[in-house]
């Protein structure tokens, strides 16, 4: 018998859905996660109040901190959209990580091959396209395997993350590839070629705040996805396939095709994130940096917290981007690495638990039994 039923509690599906719960429950879940997190911090003899205060300051409040937060939020925005779109149709693509790498490989490749003489808008446009295509192709593999060969996409997409990581490492560390800088210090320490200035994505300086082009592009893509899901035929098919695959088949849709299309859309979004990461920030193919950041996995947290809603993904990406950015800025003995992921995991656990309160009412069966 579970703990809940032992103390006489039972979950009952809600008939009414009070509006205030839609914001109150996530907020309370977030606070609950911070409380649980402070227990972890106390056990490991850290001061929770000062840790949270420093995250808030370095992530959002200090001058210039929001600009740094936007940099961390940009990749999370794209990988968050990647997971949100796919999970919505029940295609659990957790290969956003690998699709992000492949996007970065394609985008840096095209930027390097266009060279320094290309016009800026052509170079940036080509990178957007190449990154998207790269990610989409990488996601095509688990998509087609799931749709036509009934193979579990969770495992295949995840295995491809490792393959993509090994591939990127090979290009820079184990071969004399086109991506690798062979002259200068690159002859001693393996590193990638820096993309030409004309291919580096612009950022918009608003005085105290620098907004990267990638973030704006991501926000536009999020709105486009929202429209795609709500207002188009394809969006309708996605909803039906996600909700009831057999109904979709009876209605004359082709669920397999929809799944492959969604897989490629999802992978394309992650690949575009990889392009933005190279174009806006790193300016180089950096396999170690990519694999340490783990943007693809964090994107799953973003999507789940945003309840798979593309518009909400934008805001959640900025919040988690702030925590990530604070993590980079504060890393040291008082702020050990791994704290950010721990907090993200706790926030996700509490939100998942909290969502139950939106769907169900907790009924005290003991009292009911006495009353009847």
Binding interface with another protein (CB under 8 A):
1-5, 11, 40, 44, 46, 87, 92, 94, 141, 145, 149-152, 154-156, 158-163, 166-167, 169-170, 174, 294, 297-298, 300-301, 304, 336-342, 344-346, 348-349, 352-353, 355-356, 360
**Cβ distance to another protein smaller for residue 161 or 203:** 161
| Chain mean position to CA 351 | 17
Q: How far is the CB of 45 from another protein (least distance, A)?
A: 8
User: Quick one: 6 or 19, whose CB is closer to another protein?
Assistant: 6
Least Å from the CB of residue 316 to another protein? 14
Instruction: Supply the Cα-derived Rg of the chain in whole angstroms.
Output: 22
Residue 332's DSSP bridge partners are 335
Q: Are 260 and 133 in contact (CB under 8 A)?
A: no
Coil, strand, or helix at residue 212? strand
* Nearer of residues 3 and 206 to another protein, judged by Cβ: 3
Collapse the DSSP code of 272 into the 3-class scheme (helix H, G, I; strand E, B; otherwise coil) and give the result: helix
Sign of CA dihedral 292, 293, 297, 301: positive
Whose Cβ is closer to another protein: residue 7's or residue 223's? 7
- Minimum distance from residue 237 beta carbon to another protein (Å): 22
Q: Is the dihedral of CA 13, 19, 24, 29 positive or negative?
A: positive
Least separation in angstroms between residue 328's CB and another protein is 12
User: To the nearest whole angstrom, how small is the minimum distance from the Cβ of residue 233 to another protein?
Assistant: 27
Nearer to another protein by Cβ, of 211 and 348: the residue is: 348
Residue 354: which residues within 8 A CB-CB, separation 6 or more?
Answer: 25, 26, 28, 29, 32
Greatest Cα pair distance, the chain, in angstroms, is: 84
């Amino acid at each position: 018998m579970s703990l809940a039923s032992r103390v006489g509690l039972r979950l009952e599906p809600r008939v009414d859905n009070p509006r205030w719960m839609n914001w109150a429950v996530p907020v309370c879940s977030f606070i609950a996660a911070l409380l649980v997190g402070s227990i972890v911090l106390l056990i490991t003899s850290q001061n929770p109040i000062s840790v949270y205060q420093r995250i808030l300051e370095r992530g959002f409040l200090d001058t210039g901190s929001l600009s740094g937060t936007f940099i961390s939020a940009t990749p999370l925005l794209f990988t968050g959209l990647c997971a949100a779109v796919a999970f919505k149709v029940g295609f659990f693509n957790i290969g956003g990580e690998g699709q992000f790498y492949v996007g970065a490989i394609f985008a840096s490749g095209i930027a390097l091959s266009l060279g320094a003489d290309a016009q800026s808008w052509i170079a940036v446009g080509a990178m957007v396209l190449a990154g998207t295509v790269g990610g989409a192709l990488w996601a095509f593999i688990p998509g087609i395997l799931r749709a036509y060969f009934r193979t579990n996409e969770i495992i295949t997409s995840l295995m491809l993350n490792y393959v993509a990581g090994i591939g990127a490492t090979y290009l820079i560390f184990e071969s004399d590839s086109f991506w690798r800088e062979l002259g200068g210090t690159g002859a001693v320490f393996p590193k990638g070629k820096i993309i030409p200035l004309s291919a580096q994505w612009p950022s918009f300086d608003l005085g105290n705040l620098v907004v990267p082009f990638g973030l704006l592009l991501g926000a536009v893509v999020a709105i486009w996805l929202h429209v795609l899901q709500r207002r188009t035929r394809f969006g309708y098919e996605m909803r039906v396939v996600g909700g009831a695959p057999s109904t979709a088949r009876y209605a004359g849709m082709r669920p397999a095709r929809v799944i492959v299309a969604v897989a490629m859309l999802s992978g394309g979004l992650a690949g575009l994130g990889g392009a933005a990461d190279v174009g806006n920030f790193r300016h180089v193919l950096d396999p170690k940096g990519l694999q340490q950041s783990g943007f693809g996995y964090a994107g799953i947290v973003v999507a789940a917290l945003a309840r798979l809603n593309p518009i909400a993904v934008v805001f959640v990406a900025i919040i988690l981007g702030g925590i990530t950015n604070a993590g980079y800025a504060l890393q040291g003995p008082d702020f050990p690495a791994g704290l950010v992921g721990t907090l993200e995991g706790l926030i996700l656990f509490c939100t998942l638990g909290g969502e139950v309160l939106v769907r169900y009412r907790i009924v005290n069966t003991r009292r009911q039994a006495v009353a009847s």
